[in-house]
Amino acid sequence: MNQVTTAPAPRRLRADAARNQQRIIAAARELFADRGLEVTLDDVAERAGVGVGTVYRRFANKQELISEVFDQMVTELAGAVDVALHHPDPWLGLVDLFEYSCRHIATNRGFGEVVLELHDSMDRFAAMKDTIRPGMQAVITRAHAAGVLQPDIEAGDFFAMVNMVDAVACFARPINPDVWHRYSTLMLNAIRGESVARMDLTPGPLTDEEVDRAKEVACGARKR
């Protein structure tokens, strides 16, 4: 009779070890958002308030920590999609999801760098889309059924619009980090159904002086 062997269940972290791991991940997310991937594991340890050895016991290198941060972001985005799907108002659910997505990218300098730094980035992107797509499609379908979204808008448009807002946010971030809200609203006004009231565009656009300063910052970054 053949005996069936099973892999042992993964060991659960002690409570203090689990807390330290979450503090490390939270610190890494803050630092990646503020400074991009130039931060070191020593920087992460200092921000988390733990010893460097504690960081290295949990993550052998920065790549492992980057992967963990990315996976956590995807899990949270999937949760936001589910919240939008169950919002009592299909349009407001879509608005909240779009603004959530824009906010977490627009205010996060390191998100794009995190994605590019992942060695298996294409596979991870495919997995992310597989995780998010069904719920996102359901949010779009629900909005169509309620007549609050233009009928030719598809789920793929959602991600494209987020990336367009991110492009503005990336350009303006060093000078005016809040202007992305204006372009998020502009996008939503462009796709709303006829029964949905137009939203006010706030804040105002970048001034000519802000555009010039943003260009100078961008040129300086390319020369470094």
CATH of the domain at 144: 1.10.357.10
Q: How many domains does the chain have?
A: 2
Instruction: Tell me, yes or no, whether 98 and 34 share the same domain.
Output: no
Instruction: Tell me, yes or no, whether 178 and 120 share the same domain.
Output: yes
Start-to-end CA distance of the chain, whole Å, equals 67
Instruction: Tell me, yes or no, whether 102 and 208 share the same domain.
Output: yes
**pLDDT on residue 142:** 97
**pLDDT on residue 1:** 46
CATH code at 38?
A: 1.10.10.60
pLDDT, one tens digit per residue, over 16-33 is 778 889 999 999 988 888
Name the band, by pLDDT with cuts 50, 70 and 90, for residue 109. Answer: low
Let me know if residue 5 belongs to a domain: no
Say whether pLDDT at 45 is over 90.
yes
User: Cis omega (within 30 of 0) on the bond before 203?
Assistant: yes
Instruction: Tell me, yes or no, whether 51 and 116 share the same domain.
Output: no
- Give the residue numbers spanning the domain of 194: 62-223
For the whole model, what pTM was predicted? 0.79
Residues 6+ away with beta carbon under 8 Å from 15: none
**pLDDT on residue 5:** 47
Instruction: Tell me, yes or no, whether 53 and 122 share the same domain.
Output: no
Averaged pLDDT for residues 163-172: 88
Cα distances (Å, whole numbers) of residue 148 to 143, 161, 192, 211: 6, 17, 6, 34
pLDDT, one tens digit per residue, over 133-167 is 899 999 999 999 999 999 999 988 988 898 899 88
Instruction: Tell me, yes or no, whether 51 and 83 share the same domain.
Output: no
On average, the pLDDT of the chain sits at: 85
Let me know if residue 3 belongs to a domain: no
pLDDT, one tens digit per residue, over 6-15 is 444 445 556 7
Query: ∠125-112-67 over CA atoms, to 5°?
Result: 55
58 phi and psi, to 5 degrees?
-90, -35
pLDDT, one tens digit per residue, over 175-212 is 998 999 999 999 999 999 999 999 999 899 999 999 99
Let me know if residue 142 belongs to a domain: yes
Q: CA-to-CA distance for 166 and 28, rounded, in angstroms?
A: 21
Token pair for residue 192? Answer: 């709303």
